[in-house]
Amino acid sequence: MALLRWLKALSDDTRLRLLHLLSRYELSVGEVVQVLGMSQPRVSRHLKILADAGLVQVRRDGLWAFYSATSHGQAAEFLSCVGPWLGQAAGAAQDMDAAEAVMAARRSETKRFFNRVAPNWEAMRGELLSGFDLSAAILGLLPRNAGPSGDLGCGTGGMLPEIASRAGTAIGVDNSQSMLDIARARFAAESAIELRMGELEHLPLRDGELASAVMNLSLHHLSRPEQAVVEAARVLADGGVLVIADFGRHDREELRQRYGDRWLGFDEDDLRAWIAQAGLHLESLNAQRLESGLTLLLAVARKR
Protein backbone atom coordinates (compact mmCIF):
# COMPACT_ATOMS: atom_id res chain seq x y z
CA MET A 1 0.00 0.00 0.00
CA ALA A 2 1.42 3.35 -1.07
CA LEU A 3 0.49 5.15 2.15
CA LEU A 4 2.38 2.67 4.31
CA ARG A 5 5.41 2.95 2.03
CA TRP A 6 5.39 6.73 2.24
CA LEU A 7 4.91 6.84 6.01
CA LYS A 8 7.71 4.34 6.53
CA ALA A 9 10.02 6.46 4.36
CA LEU A 10 9.21 9.49 6.51
CA SER A 11 9.95 7.75 9.81
CA ASP A 12 13.42 9.29 10.08
CA ASP A 13 14.53 12.80 11.02
CA THR A 14 17.11 13.01 8.24
CA ARG A 15 14.59 12.03 5.59
CA LEU A 16 12.13 14.60 6.93
CA ARG A 17 14.84 17.24 6.53
CA LEU A 18 15.66 15.96 3.05
CA LEU A 19 12.08 16.17 1.86
CA HIS A 20 11.65 19.64 3.32
CA LEU A 21 14.83 20.72 1.53
CA LEU A 22 14.00 19.07 -1.80
CA SER A 23 10.47 20.41 -1.83
CA ARG A 24 12.03 23.86 -2.23
CA TYR A 25 15.29 23.24 -4.09
CA GLU A 26 16.60 20.93 -6.79
CA LEU A 27 20.10 19.85 -5.73
CA SER A 28 22.89 17.46 -6.64
CA VAL A 29 24.07 14.90 -4.10
CA GLY A 30 27.17 16.99 -3.44
CA GLU A 31 25.05 20.05 -2.74
CA VAL A 32 22.79 18.09 -0.38
CA VAL A 33 25.91 16.88 1.45
CA GLN A 34 27.04 20.50 1.76
CA VAL A 35 23.67 21.67 3.08
CA LEU A 36 23.11 18.89 5.60
CA GLY A 37 26.75 18.54 6.67
CA MET A 38 26.58 14.74 6.36
CA SER A 39 28.70 12.19 4.55
CA GLN A 40 27.88 11.35 0.94
CA PRO A 41 27.17 7.64 1.64
CA ARG A 42 24.68 8.60 4.34
CA VAL A 43 22.93 11.15 2.13
CA SER A 44 22.85 8.74 -0.83
CA ARG A 45 21.30 6.00 1.32
CA HIS A 46 18.49 8.27 2.51
CA LEU A 47 17.90 9.61 -1.01
CA LYS A 48 17.56 6.06 -2.32
CA ILE A 49 14.96 5.22 0.32
CA LEU A 50 12.94 8.31 -0.60
CA ALA A 51 13.31 7.65 -4.32
CA ASP A 52 12.28 3.99 -3.93
CA ALA A 53 9.19 5.19 -2.06
CA GLY A 54 8.36 7.53 -4.94
CA LEU A 55 8.73 10.68 -2.84
CA VAL A 56 11.84 12.01 -4.59
CA GLN A 57 12.48 12.33 -8.31
CA VAL A 58 15.81 12.47 -10.17
CA ARG A 59 16.55 14.66 -13.18
CA ARG A 60 19.57 13.50 -15.14
CA ASP A 61 21.39 16.18 -17.11
CA GLY A 62 24.42 14.79 -18.91
CA LEU A 63 26.76 13.38 -16.27
CA TRP A 64 24.90 15.14 -13.46
CA ALA A 65 21.89 14.08 -11.40
CA PHE A 66 19.64 16.50 -9.52
CA TYR A 67 17.11 15.57 -6.84
CA SER A 68 13.82 17.21 -5.93
CA ALA A 69 10.56 16.23 -4.25
CA THR A 70 8.16 14.36 -6.53
CA SER A 71 5.98 16.85 -8.37
CA HIS A 72 3.34 14.64 -10.00
CA GLY A 73 0.83 11.97 -9.07
CA GLN A 74 -0.47 10.70 -5.75
CA ALA A 75 2.92 11.00 -4.05
CA ALA A 76 2.95 14.72 -4.83
CA GLU A 77 -0.57 15.06 -3.40
CA PHE A 78 0.60 13.28 -0.25
CA LEU A 79 3.59 15.62 0.06
CA SER A 80 1.37 18.67 -0.30
CA CYS A 81 -0.62 17.42 2.71
CA VAL A 82 2.35 16.71 4.98
CA GLY A 83 4.45 19.62 3.70
CA PRO A 84 3.49 22.08 6.47
CA TRP A 85 4.90 19.67 9.09
CA LEU A 86 8.18 18.88 7.32
CA GLY A 87 9.59 22.25 8.31
CA GLN A 88 9.27 21.30 11.98
CA ALA A 89 12.06 18.73 11.69
CA ALA A 90 15.16 19.56 13.72
CA GLY A 91 17.60 21.51 11.59
CA ALA A 92 15.09 22.32 8.82
CA ALA A 93 15.36 26.09 9.25
CA GLN A 94 19.15 26.01 9.11
CA ASP A 95 18.92 23.82 6.00
CA MET A 96 17.05 26.59 4.20
CA ASP A 97 19.79 29.09 5.01
CA ALA A 98 22.48 26.66 3.84
CA ALA A 99 20.57 25.88 0.64
CA GLU A 100 20.21 29.56 -0.17
CA ALA A 101 23.96 29.89 0.29
CA VAL A 102 24.41 27.12 -2.29
CA MET A 103 22.13 28.98 -4.70
CA ALA A 104 24.08 32.18 -4.10
CA ALA A 105 27.33 30.34 -4.82
CA ARG A 106 25.88 29.07 -8.10
CA ARG A 107 24.91 32.61 -9.09
CA SER A 108 28.33 33.95 -8.16
CA GLU A 109 30.04 31.26 -10.19
CA THR A 110 27.91 32.10 -13.23
CA LYS A 111 28.57 35.81 -12.76
CA ARG A 112 32.34 35.26 -12.58
CA PHE A 113 32.22 33.18 -15.75
CA PHE A 114 30.39 35.82 -17.76
CA ASN A 115 32.55 38.63 -16.42
CA ARG A 116 35.56 36.70 -17.68
CA VAL A 117 34.25 35.87 -21.17
CA ALA A 118 32.37 39.13 -21.81
CA PRO A 119 34.80 40.50 -24.45
CA ASN A 120 34.48 37.32 -26.53
CA TRP A 121 30.87 36.40 -25.79
CA GLU A 122 29.24 37.38 -29.08
CA ALA A 123 31.77 35.32 -31.07
CA MET A 124 31.43 32.36 -28.69
CA ARG A 125 27.66 32.30 -29.02
CA GLY A 126 27.94 32.60 -32.78
CA GLU A 127 29.89 29.33 -32.84
CA LEU A 128 26.91 27.48 -31.38
CA LEU A 129 24.40 29.04 -33.76
CA SER A 130 26.41 27.96 -36.83
CA GLY A 131 25.35 30.93 -38.92
CA PHE A 132 21.66 30.79 -37.98
CA ASP A 133 20.28 34.33 -37.61
CA LEU A 134 18.55 33.93 -34.27
CA SER A 135 18.18 37.67 -33.75
CA ALA A 136 16.13 38.00 -36.93
CA ALA A 137 13.96 35.04 -35.94
CA ILE A 138 13.25 36.58 -32.53
CA LEU A 139 12.63 40.10 -33.80
CA GLY A 140 10.07 38.80 -36.27
CA LEU A 141 8.01 37.56 -33.34
CA LEU A 142 7.98 40.82 -31.36
CA PRO A 143 5.07 43.26 -31.74
CA ARG A 144 5.84 46.65 -33.29
CA ASN A 145 5.51 49.90 -31.34
CA ALA A 146 3.58 48.23 -28.51
CA GLY A 147 5.72 49.72 -25.76
CA PRO A 148 8.94 48.94 -23.86
CA SER A 149 10.57 45.61 -24.63
CA GLY A 150 13.04 43.80 -22.38
CA ASP A 151 16.04 41.69 -23.32
CA LEU A 152 16.31 39.51 -20.21
CA GLY A 153 19.87 38.26 -20.11
CA CYS A 154 21.05 40.79 -22.67
CA GLY A 155 24.78 40.11 -22.35
CA THR A 156 26.74 42.75 -24.25
CA GLY A 157 23.51 44.03 -25.78
CA GLY A 158 23.82 42.86 -29.35
CA MET A 159 20.05 42.78 -29.91
CA LEU A 160 19.14 45.98 -28.08
CA PRO A 161 19.30 48.44 -31.02
CA GLU A 162 17.05 46.23 -33.13
CA ILE A 163 14.64 45.72 -30.25
CA ALA A 164 14.54 49.48 -29.63
CA SER A 165 13.90 50.10 -33.33
CA ARG A 166 10.96 47.71 -33.28
CA ALA A 167 9.48 48.48 -29.86
CA GLY A 168 10.48 52.11 -29.31
CA THR A 169 12.32 51.42 -26.06
CA ALA A 170 14.62 48.53 -25.12
CA ILE A 171 15.56 47.61 -21.55
CA GLY A 172 18.46 45.20 -21.17
CA VAL A 173 18.91 43.22 -17.96
CA ASP A 174 21.97 41.17 -17.04
CA ASN A 175 23.78 40.11 -13.86
CA SER A 176 27.30 40.50 -15.29
CA GLN A 177 28.92 43.87 -14.68
CA SER A 178 31.46 43.24 -17.44
CA MET A 179 28.74 42.44 -19.97
CA LEU A 180 26.84 45.61 -19.06
CA ASP A 181 29.99 47.74 -19.17
CA ILE A 182 30.54 46.68 -22.77
CA ALA A 183 26.89 47.35 -23.59
CA ARG A 184 27.05 50.82 -22.01
CA ALA A 185 30.15 51.68 -24.01
CA ARG A 186 28.41 50.59 -27.20
CA PHE A 187 25.12 52.40 -26.64
CA ALA A 188 25.94 55.38 -24.42
CA ALA A 189 24.42 57.76 -26.96
CA GLU A 190 21.25 55.72 -27.51
CA SER A 191 18.40 57.32 -25.55
CA ALA A 192 16.03 54.47 -26.45
CA ILE A 193 18.23 51.89 -24.73
CA GLU A 194 18.32 51.42 -20.95
CA LEU A 195 20.49 48.95 -19.04
CA ARG A 196 19.80 47.48 -15.61
CA MET A 197 21.78 45.06 -13.49
CA GLY A 198 19.92 42.21 -11.81
CA GLU A 199 19.11 38.53 -11.63
CA LEU A 200 16.58 37.04 -14.03
CA GLU A 201 14.94 35.25 -11.10
CA HIS A 202 14.46 38.66 -9.38
CA LEU A 203 14.11 41.19 -12.18
CA PRO A 204 14.74 44.91 -11.53
CA LEU A 205 11.47 45.75 -13.29
CA ARG A 206 8.03 46.82 -12.10
CA ASP A 207 4.92 44.69 -12.47
CA GLY A 208 3.57 45.10 -15.99
CA GLU A 209 6.42 47.40 -17.09
CA LEU A 210 7.05 45.65 -20.42
CA ALA A 211 4.91 45.17 -23.50
CA SER A 212 7.20 42.35 -24.65
CA ALA A 213 10.27 40.48 -23.47
CA VAL A 214 12.96 38.23 -24.90
CA MET A 215 14.89 35.45 -23.16
CA ASN A 216 17.56 34.69 -25.74
CA LEU A 217 19.67 31.64 -24.78
CA SER A 218 19.60 32.71 -21.15
CA LEU A 219 17.47 30.12 -19.35
CA HIS A 220 20.00 27.28 -19.59
CA HIS A 221 22.49 29.35 -17.58
CA LEU A 222 20.13 29.57 -14.59
CA SER A 223 19.74 27.23 -11.63
CA ARG A 224 15.98 27.83 -11.55
CA PRO A 225 14.79 28.71 -15.05
CA GLU A 226 11.16 28.17 -14.12
CA GLN A 227 11.42 31.03 -11.62
CA ALA A 228 12.80 33.30 -14.34
CA VAL A 229 9.78 32.54 -16.53
CA VAL A 230 7.48 33.45 -13.64
CA GLU A 231 9.38 36.73 -13.21
CA ALA A 232 9.13 37.47 -16.93
CA ALA A 233 5.37 36.98 -16.70
CA ARG A 234 5.20 39.35 -13.73
CA VAL A 235 6.86 42.23 -15.59
CA LEU A 236 4.72 41.80 -18.71
CA ALA A 237 1.64 43.96 -19.17
CA ASP A 238 -1.65 42.25 -19.98
CA GLY A 239 -1.48 41.11 -23.58
CA GLY A 240 2.32 41.25 -23.49
CA VAL A 241 4.42 38.78 -25.46
CA LEU A 242 7.33 36.67 -24.19
CA VAL A 243 9.72 35.10 -26.71
CA ILE A 244 11.96 32.32 -25.39
CA ALA A 245 14.83 30.95 -27.46
CA ASP A 246 16.90 28.13 -26.01
CA PHE A 247 18.45 24.80 -26.84
CA GLY A 248 16.64 21.49 -26.85
CA ARG A 249 17.97 18.76 -24.59
CA HIS A 250 21.39 17.45 -25.66
CA ASP A 251 24.36 15.52 -24.28
CA ARG A 252 27.19 17.96 -25.05
CA GLU A 253 28.73 17.90 -21.57
CA GLU A 254 31.68 20.04 -22.71
CA LEU A 255 29.37 23.03 -23.05
CA ARG A 256 29.16 23.35 -19.26
CA GLN A 257 32.81 24.38 -19.09
CA ARG A 258 33.10 26.35 -22.32
CA TYR A 259 29.81 28.26 -22.10
CA GLY A 260 28.92 28.16 -18.41
CA ASP A 261 25.78 26.08 -18.99
CA ARG A 262 23.74 24.92 -15.99
CA TRP A 263 21.32 22.86 -18.08
CA LEU A 264 22.11 20.81 -21.19
CA GLY A 265 19.06 22.22 -22.93
CA PHE A 266 15.39 21.56 -22.25
CA ASP A 267 12.62 19.26 -23.37
CA GLU A 268 9.71 20.97 -25.08
CA ASP A 269 7.55 19.77 -22.19
CA ASP A 270 9.77 21.74 -19.78
CA LEU A 271 9.03 24.99 -21.58
CA ARG A 272 5.33 24.17 -21.91
CA ALA A 273 5.03 23.47 -18.19
CA TRP A 274 6.95 26.56 -17.06
CA ILE A 275 4.99 28.83 -19.38
CA ALA A 276 1.70 27.41 -18.09
CA GLN A 277 2.81 27.65 -14.44
CA ALA A 278 3.66 31.31 -15.02
CA GLY A 279 0.09 31.96 -16.13
CA LEU A 280 1.01 32.55 -19.77
CA HIS A 281 -0.69 31.18 -22.87
CA LEU A 282 1.63 29.34 -25.27
CA GLU A 283 0.97 30.52 -28.82
CA SER A 284 3.70 28.59 -30.64
CA LEU A 285 6.69 26.34 -30.01
CA ASN A 286 8.98 25.41 -32.90
CA ALA A 287 12.26 23.50 -33.19
CA GLN A 288 15.13 24.36 -35.54
CA ARG A 289 18.02 21.96 -36.13
CA LEU A 290 21.38 23.77 -36.27
CA GLU A 291 24.52 22.79 -38.18
CA SER A 292 26.31 22.42 -34.83
CA GLY A 293 24.03 19.45 -34.13
CA LEU A 294 22.08 21.31 -31.47
CA THR A 295 18.36 21.97 -31.69
CA LEU A 296 16.98 25.44 -31.06
CA LEU A 297 13.56 25.81 -29.43
CA LEU A 298 11.62 29.01 -30.10
CA ALA A 299 8.51 29.65 -27.99
CA VAL A 300 6.03 32.53 -28.06
CA ALA A 301 3.72 33.07 -25.08
CA ARG A 302 1.23 35.79 -24.22
CA LYS A 303 -0.03 37.18 -20.93
CA ARG A 304 -3.82 37.29 -20.89
The confidence score (pLDDT) of residue 26 equals 95
Would strands 149-152 and 210-216 be described as parallel, antiparallel, or unpaired?
A: parallel
Sequence-ordered alpha helix ranges (H) in 192-267 = 225-235, 254-259
- Any idea what DSSP says for residue 293? S
The domain that holds 19 is classified in CATH as 1.10.10.10
At a CB cut-off of 8 Å and minimum separation 6, what does 30 contact?
40
Secondary element (H or E) of residue 139: helix 134-139
As a whole number, mean pLDDT of residues 230-254 equals: 97
Are residues 229 and 267 both part of a single domain?
A: yes
79-88, 105-114, 232-241 — most confident range: 232-241
Q: Is residue 174 part of a domain?
A: yes
Are residues 185 and 288 both part of a single domain?
A: yes
As a whole number, mean pLDDT of residues 227-239 equals: 98
Are residues 277 and 148 both part of a single domain?
A: yes
pLDDT tens, residue by residue, 257-267: 899 999 999 99
As a whole number, mean pLDDT of residues 242-269 equals: 95
- Our count of domains for the chain comes to 2
The domain that holds 162 is classified in CATH as 3.40.50.150
Are residues 221 and 261 both part of a single domain?
A: yes
The confidence score (pLDDT) of residue 257 equals 87
- Please say whether the beta carbons of 246 and 266 come within 8 A: yes
As a whole number, mean pLDDT of residues 144-163 equals: 95
Q: Is residue 101 part of a domain?
A: no
In this predicted structure, the answer to whether residue 173 has a pLDDT above a threshold of 90 is: yes
The confidence score (pLDDT) of residue 118 equals 94
pLDDT tens, residue by residue, 114-133: 999 999 998 998 888 988 99
- Report the distance separating Cα 152 and Cα 229, nearest Å: 10
- Please say whether the beta carbons of 288 and 132 come within 8 A: yes
- Report the distance separating Cα 127 and Cα 132, nearest Å: 10
Secondary element (H or E) of residue 19: helix 13-22
pLDDT tens, residue by residue, 60-108: 998 899 999 999 899 999 999 988 888 887 788 899 999 999 999 999 9
> 48 is in which domain, residue-wise?
2-90
Are residues 224 and 292 both part of a single domain?
A: yes
As a whole number, mean pLDDT of residues 131-137 equals: 93
Say what the pTM is.
0.87
The confidence score (pLDDT) of residue 90 equals 78
- Residue 52, classed as helix, strand or coil, is helix
The confidence score (pLDDT) of residue 168 equals 93
The confidence score (pLDDT) of residue 83 equals 85
In this predicted structure, the answer to whether residue 25 has a pLDDT above a threshold of 90 is: yes
- Report the distance separating Cα 287 and Cα 268, nearest Å: 9
- Please say whether the beta carbons of 211 and 143 come within 8 A: yes
CB-based burial label for 86 (10 Å; 0-12, 13-18, 19+): buried
Are residues 38 and 128 both part of a single domain?
A: no
Are residues 67 and 125 both part of a single domain?
A: no
pLDDT tens, residue by residue, 198-221: 999 999 999 999 999 999 999 999
Q: Is residue 97 part of a domain?
A: no
As a whole number, mean pLDDT of residues 135-156 equals: 94
Are residues 243 and 130 both part of a single domain?
A: yes
Q: What is the mean pLDDT of the chain?
A: 94
CB-based burial label for 21 (10 Å; 0-12, 13-18, 19+): buried
In this predicted structure, the answer to whether residue 1 has a pLDDT above a threshold of 80 is: no
